[in-house]
A = this chain, B = another copy of it.
Amino acid sequence: MTFKTDIEIAREAVKEPIQAIGAKLGIGEADLVPYGHDKAKVSADFIARSAGNPDGKLILVTAINPTPAGEGKTTTTVGLGDGLNRIGKKAMICIREASLGPNFGMKGGAAGGGMSQVVPMEDMNLHFTGDFHAITSAHNLLSAMIDNHIYWGNDLEIDQRRVVWRRVLDMNDRALRDIVTSLGGVSNGFPSQSGFDITVASEVMAILCLAKDLDDLRTRLGDMIVAYRRDRSAVYARDIKADGAMAVLLKDAMQPNLVQTLENNPAFVHGGPFANIAHGCNSVVATKTALKLCDYVVTEAGFGADLGAEKFMNIKCRKAGLAPSVVVLVATVRAMKMNGGVAKADLGGENVQAVKDGCANLGRHIENLKSFGVPVVVAINHFVTDTEAEVDAVKDYVRKHGSEAVLSRHWELGSEGSEDLARRVAEVADSGMAAFSPLYPDEMGLLDKINTVAKRIYRADEVLADKKIRDQLKQWEDAGYGNLPVCMAKTQYSFTTDPNRRGAPTGHSVPIREVRLSAGAGFIVVICGEIMTMPGLPRTPASETIMLNDNGQIEGLF
């Protein structure tokens, strides 16, 4: 049996004009701002006019801890959306935009796979509608204005050693991680140590994804801390007078991008914050708009459920007033085997015992998700080598954990393969079983919030935080930031901070290396382990083989 590659399938897609896709959502041509014939932004006016519509039901797709076997979270999000449409529901999906830089390294695109993809795939993995470029520009304008302020006299009395605002590029470039700027003499400013992060790591990205509208965007941009004075008081982007121009640069980027699935169902693809130092979800504007236009909105969160779903609930839903009706937890037989101790090279044959052993990881995620008051449906994303006995082992396990697993073949068959999943998910969403609440209240202390996530989600025995970190958290509480949620930055591969500990470990501790205040985005980043905010390229980067073929088509991007 041979399968077509994702790019081959995507190229054969029969796309509808984006105006036809917009029409399915009741968006007229004047309110669709086209970018080519197959992409459009939705006008701010239309969004404002839709504010009075009733809300549809929100469905979150998340996954077990990722393994090298792959889980197919985005693929399942797309397949479920198409499945809901197939069974006659008015549904759409909301996913994140892909970052340009990693596509030139080794990462594939983020548009789903097989028969469950969003198109145009190439555009989405290149410049798309320019949102990330706008974020890069806005971020770096602030950087330039900070140094320019110091250059011309430093009226704000910024301590030049304590400029915390770096620069960004949407490129994997390790040489820019740690640099010295302003060499070359008087006219180039004061030499300082600084660096670049990748654009998705910018606080501007997190803000764009959490802001309600352009006014809220500008307010949050102004709230960002860019430096400290010698007395440790904060200097804000507002003090630099950069917030207005940054909002201008981000005006179009704030509007959700409409595209379509292979089955011509609508999809918003908007925003893409890091899932470690940020919350890892698509934009609030896109999700809220989609809920006004459809009965069911399927969205996803970055990484596995311990990180992605936790932040979706505790940050995005809390702040935006959203409440999921059901969570779909994606698992694969292969990933269960890896969680059961099998190496990737040995995944070939049937191994029911390994599947059973690995299900502990799945079980803990189910429990965790239920603790938010939301029912869980497990989606077994079918892989061609899965055996019936292996699939049954997963189903049995899930049933014993008081939930239900549905096999779904959307990768192979599109919505024909996800009908069962769609039907069950819609039933649960409609059941009224959900009673969502975040894991901790706003008024809980910051260290207690960290403890709550570490103990209730990671199942750690303890959080290790030295005096410096505890003092820092206390200081932020005193400064009025105590009501913010925490944004955990931890390896996505394990419940623990050790990426090699698969399954459902216990007895571990969570050491906090560093805490950061994202005052504009509105969360405290808690860094537990090494977090890389500027990736590098591999020995043989994908960019060496990316090119236009003789038909003008893009080769090698995926």
Contacts and interface: CB of A to CB of B under 8 A. Distances in A.
A215 to B, nearest CB: 9
A356 to B, nearest CB: 40
B537 A144 contact: yes
B174 A137 contact: no
A241 B539 CA distance: 13
Interface in A172-223: 172-184, 187-189, 192-193, 195, 214, 218
Given A178-B184, A214-B548, A248-B547, A100 B137 contact: yes
A172 B181 CA distance: 14
A121 to B, nearest CB: 13
B127 A248 contact: no
Residue among A100, A147, A153, A548 with most chain B CB within 10 A: A548
A268 interface: no
A546 B183 contact: no
Contacts of A152: 539
A171 B133 CA distance: 12
A133 B36 CA distance: 17
A342 interface: no
A33 interface: yes
Contacts of A539: 152-153
A314 B127 CA distance: 34
Interface string A513-557: 000000000000000000000001101010111111000101011
B188 A182 contact: no
Interface string A272-288: 00000000000000000
B241 A544 contact: yes
A169 B537 CA distance: 20
Contacts of A242: 543-544
Contact of A189 (B141, B175, B557): B175
Interface in A388-421: none
A379 B546 CA distance: 49
Nearest to A170: B137
Interface in A116-151: 126-127, 130, 133-134, 136-137, 140-141, 143-145, 147-148, 151
Contact of A548 (B137, B147, B176, B218): B218
A247 B104 CA distance: 13
A143 B554 contact: no
Contact of A35 (B30, B34, B145, B177): B34
Given A127-B133, A130-B130, A548-B214, A173 B188 contact: no
A251 interface: yes
Contacts of A148: 174, 536-537, 541
A96 B66 CA distance: 48
A173 B144 CA distance: 5
A169 to B, nearest CB: 6
A178 B188 contact: yes
A97 interface: no
A147 B174 contact: yes
Given A127-B133, A133-B130, A141-B104, A248 B554 contact: yes
Nearest to A30: B37
The 4 closest A-B pairs by CB, nearest first: A244-B547, A178-B184, A133-B133, A144-B173
22 contacts: A34-B36, A44-B552, A104-B144, A127-B134, A127-B249, A133-B137, A147-B174, A148-B541, A174-B182, A174-B189, A178-B184, A178-B188, A179-B180, A180-B180, A241-B545, A244-B546, A244-B547, A244-B548, A247-B547, A248-B557, A251-B552, A251-B554
